[in-house]
Amino acid sequence: MKRKLIAAVGVAGMVIGLAACGGSDSKGGSETDKASGAKELTVWLTVDAQNNWPDLVKAADDAIVAKHPGLTIKHEYYGWPDKNAKLDAVLATDKAPDVVEMGNSEMIGYMSTGAFADLDASKFENSGTWLDALKESVTYDGKTYGVPYYAGGRVGTWRKDLATEAGVTAAPKSWADLTGALDKIQTAKGDKFSALYQPSPDWYAAMSFVYDANGSIAKKDGDKWKANLSSAESLKGLKQYKELLDKYMHADKTKDESDRPVVFGQGNAAAIFSAGWEGADAATPKNDKVGGLKDKVETFVMPGPNGKALPVFLGGSDLAVPSKSKAKDVAAEWINVFTGAQGQKGLIAKGNLPNNKTDLAPLKADPKTQVSATAAESSWFVPTAPGWGQVEKGKLLQTMLVEIGTGKKTVEAAAKDADAAIDKVINTK
């Protein structure tokens, strides 16, 4: 994947540009705006689209303009760190864009406050088979407020040369395979080496263990959300995560995962559980201090301790139509073309996972995409609670995980304190 940490961060800096315009037969959109005679459409996308698939953007433009002669489509491209502040400012005016790209976990705060228009999901291609976590990310109180754009999951990546040296000849298929292999590698390399480099604060990884144990971050109780990390199931997952850290992670347990590809590329770890692009990033000339790392790494579907593939946080982007848009119908048409069957083929060719199970299925048969596609089948998503953004902003999960990883608190105490902190904000709009 060319995009880094799909749901939240990316290339810094904002670049603004114009694109030619287009149109085609589209099923998306509401009839109520057809009479508006929209002459202009403003589409906000991240620089990922501008840098990596501008041809797909132009194809959607051309299709829509063909259907609406005289329509002008304007594009603005922004970096992930800039996006929300810019969007918040413009939504307070009457100059709202017509289409905006959002990280999937960013959707919740906007949906809960009515910032986005609700859409008829049935009018968008492949909506019946949208990936579960992506469908959840655009759904609030039973209504659909966006359309999944593309996805990216998490996989296991390890040094097959180190595995071979330790007497392991195949990638792990089960939890017993994984821990048995890591045990052998850890013994061979010594206690200053990390058989698995797993930064404690990486909540995307930690919560995979929670959901694998049938726990959750929070559960809905009536019309309110209640933190659930202290439940028996969640505690089981957190303890399994801590056991992994205690046995195989011998680096600084307070550091986050931002430099994980660098650490892996330096040869200080045998395995990582991370976004799919991280192993490839570690093997770039800039980061590869091992030498020939590209030919020494292997990816695999991360097994979980409870007998199945570890469910992964499925990062991704969604496209939404602001409530203040003056061209909602045409905006929905553009989204449908861009995210529809042809658009998904283009995104897949660029190294992304599709937004739906129909297009995901054949990728499981292709050796080049088999691991990432299979891993994406089992996924989880954050609570669609109005105050979820405040949970992320406050780094409440990261705080708990550092306390658990360093042993500052017991798992039970850290989870109890995290639940209390989460309950204070999770229902706040």
What gap in Å lies between CA 208 and CA 198, rounded to an integer?
13
CB of 409 closer than 8 Å to CB of 403? yes
Tens-digit pLDDT profile for residues 239-276: 999 999 999 999 999 999 999 999 999 999 999 999 98
Q: Which helix (H) or strand (E) holds 334?
A: helix 328-339
What integer pLDDT is reported at residue 398 of this predicted model?
A: 98
Other CB atoms within 10 Å distance of the CB of residue 326: 18
What integer pLDDT is reported at residue 5 of this predicted model?
A: 36
- Please check the confidence at residue 99 and state whether its pLDDT lies above 90: yes
> What share of the chain has pLDDT > 90, as a percent?
86
Q: What are phi and psi of 217, to 5 degrees?
A: -70, -45
Tens-digit pLDDT profile for residues 269-304: 999 999 988 999 999 999 999 999 999 999 999 999
Tens-digit pLDDT profile for residues 146-160: 999 999 889 999 999
Question: For the residues of 261-282, what is the DSSP string, one character each?
Answer: HHHHHTT-BSEEEEETHHHHHH
Candidates 3.40.50.720, 3.40.50.970, 3.40.190.10, 3.60.20.10; CATH matching 15-153+315-380: 3.40.190.10
What would the mean pLDDT of 224-230 be, rounded to a whole number?
A: 98
> What is the three-class DSSP state of 170?
coil
- Provide the pLDDT confidence category of residue 4 given band limits of 50, 70 and 90: very low
Mean residue pLDDT of the chain comes to: 90
- Please check the confidence at residue 357 and state whether its pLDDT lies above 90: yes
Q: At the fourth CATH level, which superfamily is domain 154-312+384-425?
A: Periplasmic binding protein-like II (3.40.190.10)
Tens-digit pLDDT profile for residues 100-109: 999 999 999 9
What gap in Å lies between CA 13 and CA 378, rounded to an integer?
33
**By CB neighbour count within 10 A (0-12 exposed, 13-18 middle, 19+ buried), where does 252 fall?**
exposed
What integer pLDDT is reported at residue 38 of this predicted model?
A: 83
Sequence ranges of the domains in the chain: 15-153+315-380, 154-312+384-425
Bridge-based pairing state of the strands 147-152 and 139-140? unpaired
CB of 428 closer than 8 Å to CB of 390? yes
Residue closest to 143 by CA, chosen among 176, 107, 102, 178? 107
Number of residues in the chain: 429
